[in-house]
Amino acid sequence: MKKEIAVVGGGAAGMMAAYAASLGDSHVTIYEKNEKLGKKIYITGKGRCNVTNACDTESLFASVIRNPKFLYSAFYGFDNRKTMDFFEQEGCSLKTERGDRVFPVSDHASDIIRTLENVLKKRKVDICLQTEVKSVLTVKKAEADGTDHEQTTVCGLELRGGRRVKADAVILATGGLSYPATGSTGDGYRMAEELSHTVVSCSPSLVPFETAEEWCRDLQGLALKNVEVSMESGGREVYRGFGEMLFTHFGVSGPLILSASSFYKGKDCRLYLNLKPALDLEQLDKRLVRDFEANKNRNFKNALDGLFPARLIPVMIGLSGIDPEKKVHEITRQERRAFAALIRHVPVTVTGTRNFKEAIITRGGVKVQEINPSTMESKLAGGLYFAGELLDVDALTGGFNLQIAWSTGYLAGESAGGMRMEE
């Protein structure tokens, strides 16, 4: 008789888990409360789906912020290369862009979902849409160690409405709390806690920042490329990155800011923008000397066209404290050098992050110390497996979080399906 495996959640991790589980002699069913699979995948990468990152293995681990060592078996068992091979072999052509980000050639996230759906169909995986799972059912079984100990073991699911279904193994892949409109409403956390698992406090991550400065909001829509951003918390630098950022109606966003949010500690936080990172302080001062010499008879406010975008000029003048009407040749050496230092160190006060509706991923989740990293099986309930964003594991932006979903999903699936033994 075939083993019955139930996968709760039809997102990236759930679909990959169902595929891997189907490779064994098992009957696999996905239970998805939405009307279609992969609802969150549709909106990842601005609808293009940043499938993974083509970096080397060392960089892959370095991009995981919380609990990277937990992912050792998962990454080595199904890494970014195997992910790319999987989609290519199933007919979805991929391309690699700046920052080693990998996308479907079509630039359509729907092609990734369609590929997975076709694979699941070929593997005869049953898919139950608009089917919400209420809880994981368990029984107590005597352990085969000759003692009186009893082990909690999963035996099925209770669906919303009361119907019960049998399962020899359950894979929870319900996602986190980010983008709740896609169905990520924390159901998996509740189910995990009902089975005595600890859920590490959850907060938005890869999320824009709200700022105290009004000038940030005045610059709404302005994108800056090739800038460096550092972030200090409690007076200590916790992040530094180079790339692109965006000013918004509430503060700052863009790839640099989203990555910085992975290190946000919630208090006494300040960003510093280096608008000319290619120049050290002395080189920048020499650049200002040349610019000021070329504009020596103009007012300060009219001498900065070559340095900044037009909308940024009045902001930088205001922050400098130099009279905008002052003739350039009247600017002192001390004022000029202070202005150079400001350009490389523009302070921005962070007052908080945006909420889960705007967060790409969730920080926190099911405590990884309660899960076997070699199999993704619970240490507290036999036959219960975890995958994806539900876990207390997260990474920087750039395809790394989807790779966590593919890797943990595959490992959970092959373990539940009996294709992988504990190391």
Please name the residue that has the structure tokens 């964003």: 389
**Burial zone of 236 (CB within 10 Å; 0-12 exposed, 13-18 middle, 19+ buried):** exposed
CB 243 within 8 A of CB 250: no
- Give pLDDT, residue 235: 87
Pair 414, 21: CB distance under 8 Å: yes
Which pLDDT score, from 0 to 100, does residue 46 have? 86
Q: What is the pLDDT of residue 423?
A: 43
Give pLDDT < 50 ranges for the chain: 421-423
How far, in whole angstroms, is CA 108 from its chain's centroid? Answer: 19
**Rounded Cα gap, residues 293 and 317, in angstroms:** 18
State pLDDT tens for residues 58-72: 999 999 999 999 999
Q: Is 224 left (phi over 0), alpha (psi -120 to 50) or beta?
A: beta
Q: What values do phi and psi take at 165, rounded to 5?
A: -125, 145
Alpha carbon distance 417, 386 (integer Å): 14
Closest to 77 measured CA to CA, from 398, 385, 373, 367? 373
How is residue 225 written in tokens? 């490329």
Half-sphere exposure of 45 (CA within 13 A, CB side): 24
What are the structure tokens assigned to 66, written together? 């919380």
DSSP 8-state assignment for residue 42: G
Strands 101-104, 52-53: pairing kind = antiparallel
Residues 6+ apart with CB under 8 A from 116: 15, 16, 19, 37, 38
Q: Which two tokens stand for residue 24?
A: 């064994």
Q: Where are the alpha helices (DSSP H) in 123-161?
A: none
* C-alpha–C-alpha distance, residues 186 and 15, integer Å: 18
pLDDT score recorded for residue 144 = 53
Q: What is the pTM of this model?
A: 0.91
Return all residues near 254 (Cβ < 8 A) that are at least 6 apart.
Answer: 223, 224, 243, 244, 245, 246
